[in-house]
Structure 1
Amino acid sequence: MTLGSPLALSWTTNAFMLTFGSVLMAAGTLADEYGRKRLFSLGVALFGLSSLALVFVPSLLWLNLLRGVQGLAGAAALAGGSAALAQAFDGPGRTRAFSLLGTTFGVGLAFGPILAGVLVEHSGWRGIFVSGALIGGLSLAFGVPRMQESRDPQARGVDWPGTLSFTLALVLLTWGILQAPQSGWSSPWVLALLLGALLALGLFILVERRAARPMLDLSLFRYPRFVGVQVLPIATCYCYVVLLILLPIRFIGVEGYSEIDAGLLMLALSAPMLVVPLAAGWLNRWFSAGNLSSLGLLVAAGGLWWLSRLAPGQGAGERVWPLLVIGLGSGLPWGLMDGLSVSVVPKERAGMASGIFSTTRVAGEGIALALVVALLAALLQQALGAHGASGDALSLAARQLAGGDLAASAGALPSWSREALLHSYAQAFSQLLQVLMVITLVAALVVKVALHEPRHPRRLGN
């Protein structure tokens, strides 16, 4: 298979994100209507088959098309599986089950890129898709037979007008955000996509207000707990997820760490996801989910502030501790928010709740990353401009430095020394971390108020 342009290659990731994020809520509705186990099984089977087909793709076009199919399959599997899990457990058992689910999400997000890199190094890029097919086969063979079928007994059919209008809105929004780094936020194409998303969203709200059985019950947004649950994945995007992308770029591209050293350093951020989400489920027996989540966000905000005080060139040992604090704090809401997402609606509407929450999570990650990268570039442009850079070279150097290409940035500003560029980068990155800290603190306050739930301690075994 021949390689394409960088823009065409970027759609290998974008095609999956676009389809996955845009149909999650529709998939939740389908799970309630046709059966959670059935939709999960179909999603896993389709994911495995499309992964196997990707091994033999003849061109980049087919690669991107099949990645879009994988996104559809992943949305079906996630919505159906989460809703089925909500039906299988009650009370503390459900909290522990979803804490384990949150742990698997966190571990996959943190360690997936490392494992993928090992597979690529030893077996090529096709090895990643072979592993996806194998995992899908194992799930069908050993997981599905142990699941119980369930559906919403009061389902009245899929809200197709709402499903289509919402999917259109999210497709256009996601497409616009993904296209912006390539074309610029002010390009007519990006502005047209974002305007179309706004119009489609207005149509969705109009349709849902008139629907007898809407896909999204808009009255839920009147309840603080429902709103608070949606804040949690957005908060963890800004205090944890974006760092998984930005810090390796900083360590490798700007500070000159080797890939191995940077990976080992990142373990301080990701390793807590192995244990903290499960611990959060256990602590929830005595402390409310809202209090634990807001406490975790406060801890993560403290870690962000600590990390913002460290300049490039400081030893790796000094960086480990703030990264560990961020990982520990982020792990508390991470282990609780999946369970909370299905606890704020009637049990029979678990598919809808799972779809809404998963949509918020996936769309939030894409939006957060795009906004944070744009903010870093703007802060770099300001920092470089304060030290004498100007014109097109300033804008180009800021974008290159934000992307971790120190050498290219130095080429755009030949009169600048490497030390001067590092100083400007450190200043801008520190300001960015402080902005993320403020966002996390605000989210902690919203979660504390919205998820307030007076509880009495329970003895072990109750």
Structure 2
Amino acid sequence: MTRQLSTPLGAAGASRTGGARKIMALVGICAAAAAMPLTFTGPAVALPAISRDLGGSPIALNWVTNAFMLTFGSSLMASGALADSYGRKRIFLIGLVAFLLFSAGLAFAPDIVWFDVLRALQGMGAAAAFSGGMAALAQEFDGNARMRAFSIVGSSFGVGLAFGPIASGFMVDSFGWPAIFALVVGLGTIAFVLGSIFLHETRDPEAKGLHWPGAASFTLALALFTYGVLLAPENGWGSPSVVALLVASAALLAGFWLIERRTARPMLDLTLFRYPRFVGVQLLAAAPAYAFVVLLILLPVRFVGIDGMSEVGAGQMMIALSGPLLVLPVVAGLLTRWFTAAVICGVGLLIAAGGLFWLSTIPAGVPASQPLLLIGPLLTIGIGISLPWGLMDGLAVSVVPKERAGMATGIFSTTRVAGEGVALAIVSAVLSALAGTRLGSGLGGSGEEAARAAQRLVTGDLGAAAAVMPQMSREALALNYAQAFSTLLILLASITIFTAVVVVAFLGRKEPETASEAAVCDSPAG
């Protein structure tokens, strides 16, 4: 009898041990996920302080955020392919080491050029860590447990978004802007230790390694497009340099499409775009970029640089925007018991659009004099975007078979993060153009002077804008900027409404579901 009982007891013990190992591996991935949003919310809060210490042109200061988001977004698919080929755990750990080294180096950057270069390298490390970690996590869990694990990682990302601005504001206010990278390094170190101990090494035996022509053409297309958009406010959209950059980007993107079509094992399986639900998921991934993520960058810059809030005060205000991500993504998963994912996502985007319209009605001067009036619209935007946020990762990972998890997370994450980088570049350029038009009309057509002042305002440097246009008071400059910001918010709300309609139409299409996709809707955690 003892012999008969020993086998199940041993199996139970092994199961408990395996379960504990998986939980610790999940904690490691979550630590890395929480560190990622700190890398772009932190510098946004600290941008006015970084500008004072390191100087730099408006374009160089825009690259503080764009350099990270560009390399992060454009490297994700390549990182996913490398993870499938050479080991998901290995790429995760290598990416974390690079991420940690470059994050620490940013605190000692001697000037804005070095800062931007290190930000770009930091983004590449982050892409490897994110793709490798998510692909490795997909191999650790199955079925509903797998979907819950991805939901928890998404919530961890929300924790970083929620507390990143206030933590960064406190660090800047107490120790100076270099301190914002200390928390990033701490979380990354935890992720490295837990990942190296508890993650299993896995790879796709059929993977063929990185397809360099596809990776190079895609990365260059994104880089040239972003650079062209950033140059446009200064040089004009019709300038030869801007037109050449945009045309070259379009040509490279077309080349990428042709290369991927003719590749037996592409980084981006273009045949997936034949399915409306897959396209709907990609549109859903891009939606938070212009309805939410751009605000994580633009609002702290405005609050600190234009409205005169402290870094801590700006961080506190941003909790209202990102705080709902701590809870509501899980609620969205629960709601799938009664509503379809398409309905939940569409309603969430409409709520976010309402919040953007509400925020556009807040008069100039209110952020500094009556900051509590901002809580309502910021909270509404955060609530709205949290609903699709809770379902996106689970829907995305169900698109391809488990063994192609690196590609699945790579496609979805590339759409999301590259979309964020492109959206930020475009929105910043539009805001600069709107502010420049208002300033120019107020001066009887001094277009060049107004454009230069507007570029400074977008980076939160009110003093430099006043130096460019001494004939206008600081109050008048801030008022014109706030009015341009309100117009921008109305544009973003309109785009979000349109996206909600399209996403509902595409996700609502009836197509054969995979078993893992059904699990998205069955899982209580989304």
Bin of the TM-score, shorter chain as denominator length: 0.7 to 0.9
1:389 and 2:444 are equivalent in the alignment: yes
1:193 and 2:245 are equivalent in the alignment: yes
- Measured after TM superposition, the shift of residue 205 of structure 1 is 1.5
Matching residue within 422, 426, 431 for 1:367: 422
Verify the 8 A CA contact 1:377 1:402 in the aligned structure 2: yes
Verify the 8 A CA contact 2:68 2:122 in the aligned structure 1: yes
1:444 and 2:496 are equivalent in the alignment: no
Distance 1:44 1:459, change over 3 A: closer
Matching residue within 288, 291, 294 for 1:236: 288
Q: 1:437 corresponds to which letter in structure 2?
A: A
Matching residue within 206, 216, 222 for 1:170: 222
Quick one: distance in 1 between partners of 2:118 and 2:428? 28
Match of 1:158 in 2: 210
1:328 and 2:383 are equivalent in the alignment: yes
Match of 2:148 in 1: 96
Residues 159-181 of structure 1 deviation map (CA, whole Å, 9 limit, x = unaligned): 33322322332333344345555
Verify the 8 A CA contact 2:93 2:192 in the aligned structure 1: yes
- Measured after TM superposition, the shift of residue 356 of structure 1 is 1.6
Q: 1:376 corresponds to which letter in structure 2?
A: L
Q: Percent identity, aligned pairs only?
A: 55
1:429 and 2:485 are equivalent in the alignment: yes
Quick one: distance in 2 between partners of 1:250 and 1:57? 24
Quick one: distance in 2 between partners of 1:203 and 1:115? 43
Verify the 8 A CA contact 1:208 1:214 in the aligned structure 2: yes
Matching residue within 280, 297, 301 for 2:332: 280
Pairs within 5 Å for 1:1-40: 5-6=56-57, 13=65, 15-40=67-92
Distance 1:86 1:183, change over 3 A: farther
Q: 1:355 corresponds to which letter in structure 2?
A: G
Distance 1:177 1:378, change over 3 A: closer
- Measured after TM superposition, the shift of residue 413 of structure 1 is 5.4
SS of the residue corresponding to residue 151 of structure 2 reads helix
- Measured after TM superposition, the shift of residue 129 of structure 1 is 4.4
Structure 2 segments unaligned to the other structure (5+ residues): 1-52, 511-517
What is the root-mean-square deviation of aligned Cα atoms in Å? 3.3
Quick one: distance in 1 between partners of 2:66 and 2:438? 31
Verify the 8 A CA contact 2:135 2:409 in the aligned structure 1: yes
1:143 and 2:199 are equivalent in the alignment: no
SS of the residue corresponding to residue 265 of structure 2 reads coil
Distance 1:118 1:257, change over 3 A: closer
Verify the 8 A CA contact 2:437 2:450 in the aligned structure 1: no
Structure 1 segments unaligned to the other structure (5+ residues): none
- Measured after TM superposition, the shift of residue 436 of structure 1 is 0.8
| Larger deviation, residues 203-212 vs 322-331 | 203-212
- Measured after TM superposition, the shift of residue 78 of structure 1 is 0.7
The number of residue pairs the alignment matches comes to 460
| Larger deviation, residues 322-331 vs 207-216 | 207-216
1:218 and 2:273 are equivalent in the alignment: no
Match of 2:26 in 1: none
TM-score by length of 2: 0.77
- Measured after TM superposition, the shift of residue 87 of structure 1 is 2.9
Residues 364-394 of structure 1 deviation map (CA, whole Å, 9 limit, x = unaligned): 1122122222222333344445556312344
Pairs within 5 Å for 1:405-420: 405-406=461-462, 409=465
1:69 and 2:118 are equivalent in the alignment: no
Distance 1:174 1:384, change over 3 A: closer
